[in-house]
Chains A and B, each alone.
Chain A
Amino acid sequence: MITLNHYLVLSAILFSLGTLGVLTRRNAIVIFMSVELMLNAVNLTFISFSSYLGNLDGQVFVFFVMAVAAAEAAVGLALMIAFHRNKDSIDVEEFNLLKW
């Protein structure tokens, strides 16, 4: 029997994996994919709570999160393309103009 706890633990693991990916990866696109993993872990949390509580707010939230993530992806990839045109790389090690 799969209970609420199983879903919560799974989403916590996915969220941690996403966080770890953001902190350790060097390629901007892979970092962005890790962020998407975090968002999807959150979606899983919302849906499992929604089903557990018998309340639709969580599922509504998931639709909004997906819409926002799509908009974010459009803008983010455009920014990456602009950066790549000027620098021929999207390695975050190349983000070195602005620092103290």
Chain B
Amino acid sequence: MENLVQFVSKNLEQGAEPFKGIADAGQATVNFSAIMPSMVLTCFGLLLLMVVAFSPKGKSGPVAGLSLFALAVTGALSIAGWNSTEIGFVGTVALDNFATFFSLIFLLAAGLTILMSGDYLKREGCTITEYYPIIIFVTAGAMWMASGTELITIFLGLEVLSIGLYILAGIFRNNLKSNEAGLKYFLLGAFSTGFLLYGIALTYGATGTTRLAGIASYISANGDVTSSPLLLAGMVLMAVGFLFKVGAAPFHMWTPDVYQGAPTPITAFMSAGPKAAALAAFIRVFMLGLEGMKVDWSMLFWIVAVLTMIVGNFMAIQQTNLKRMLAYSSIAHAGYALVGLVAANAIGMSGILFYMLVYTFMNIGAFGVLVLIGKKGEENLTLDGVAGMGYKSPVLAVVFSIFLFALMGIPPTAGFTGKFYIFAGAVESGYIWLAIIGVLNSAVSLYYYLRVMVSMYFRPGTEDFSWIKPGAAITVSLVIALAGVLYLGILPGAVMEMAKLAAF
């Protein structure tokens, strides 16, 4: 034992390789407070798995309630850590404002999803109560992605998140659509993981480290590495992996199929939480690690952002299935978020953070309404299916319209303020054409969102919508989403200040 201590201290003095990271991070300790929120959440997840295992079959018991409690505790811990940066595990994890802000988005998305799941699972006849713990684990994975400052940590977070989502997308074992969504997501997700890993491997080869800070300092110390084919290929392949998870064109092909086939609350969750997590890791890797190669990647993302907005909006126009339409609209929204990444300045970055929060409220809200409108099997979630709803179920129709207005970006909803900050960031960085293309795309999106409202209010329907009976939990979820959309639309100042503190 003593020999080991001597060996370690000798190595430390010499700055030997295995301990190189300590010098990079300036923090030798393990420091559990850097992972406290996600650790607590994971422990709750394990506990919930036990609860599920020991409850009688088909009885979820207190699982949903306990999951919400776990999310609330984690949220409180995260908020308590606001404005204090904790670095842990020899610099592989950083719990800073950026990670905290994104963690709160994931927790919120998970909470709203769990609230709207109970009635839905009952209606669709799903008795698999592992559903809730898996959502908890996915959220924990998302939090690791946002707080990882090292490629291994980020990769592990990404995989915990992805594997959980494969299960959730295919959780209705007897429903062929859900099977197909899960399997498609799994095959394409594993494929994209291969690209991400190859990118990481090449970057590691070019810079000799997997730490983002180490990569950045290597690039700034060796300027000529930016033109090395190894690092360029690594950067592009990593971008491919992340763009797949974000659902950006031309790697968006899985999005509509998976979003349509997956259970609706899971679709809502997938389009908000994991998308934000992928963006968080994206921002960390490219703004922190590969900032020295900004010239190369901002051009790449300019093209991807434009392509994503155009593909998302123009494909959404052709859809008659509402879940599929919202899936394409989520592709378009990923494009708007990427505009902020191209801008790569303070207002663009805080704009992304703010926009992901707004998007969580408005998109989960819209999907929550779809959860209520759907009958068993959800064959009626089409433009024809909602015809006449405006008069038969007026309150829900108004709520749905508000969420759709928010997705369009019409003031005074939060969708407007969110897009405003992102496009303002693009203009400030001199990407005026990008901002113009973004605004024109928002105009295109009016068409397909308004078409839903036209169908609800101006087309005669045969249905009486008597099956819509909102339970308490889903009502709470919709009210929170609605309050968020309106509050952030009318008084964005306070939250935007938080986003500014969180961005880097």
Contact = CB atoms under 8 A, between A and B. Distances in A.
Contacts of A87: 176, 179
Contacts of B179: 79, 82-83, 86-87
A80 B170 CA distance: 10
B204 A57 contact: yes
A22 B191 contact: yes
Contact of B315 (A45, A61, A100): A100
Interface of A: 8, 15, 18-19, 22, 28, 31-32, 35, 38-39, 41-42, 45-46, 49, 52-58, 60-61, 64-65, 68, 71-72, 75-76, 78-80, 82-83, 85-87, 90, 92, 95, 97-100
Contacts, number: 135
19 contacts: A41-B198, A42-B197, A45-B198, A46-B201, A55-B209, A56-B17, A57-B209, A57-B210, A58-B210, A60-B152, A61-B152, A61-B200, A72-B190, A72-B193, A75-B166, A87-B179, A92-B187, A98-B181, A100-B315
Interface in B298-351: 315, 318-319, 324
Interface of B: 17-18, 20, 151-152, 155-156, 159, 163, 166-167, 170, 173-174, 176-177, 179-184, 186-187, 190-191, 193-194, 197-198, 200-202, 204-205, 208-210, 256-257, 260-261, 315, 318-319, 324
Contacts of B173: 82, 85
A100 B256 contact: yes
A100 B20 CA distance: 52
Given A55-B209, A97-B261, A100-B318, A46 B204 contact: yes
A41 B194 CA distance: 9
A48 to B, nearest CB: 8
The secondary structure that dominates the A interface is helix
Given A61-B200, A100-B324, A42 B194 contact: yes
Contact of A38 (B194, B208, B257, B261): B194
A53 B181 CA distance: 42
A64 B152 CA distance: 8
B261 A28 contact: no
Contacts of A64: 152, 155-156
Contacts of B205: 8, 45, 49, 52-53
Nearest to A85: B173
A14 to B, nearest CB: 11
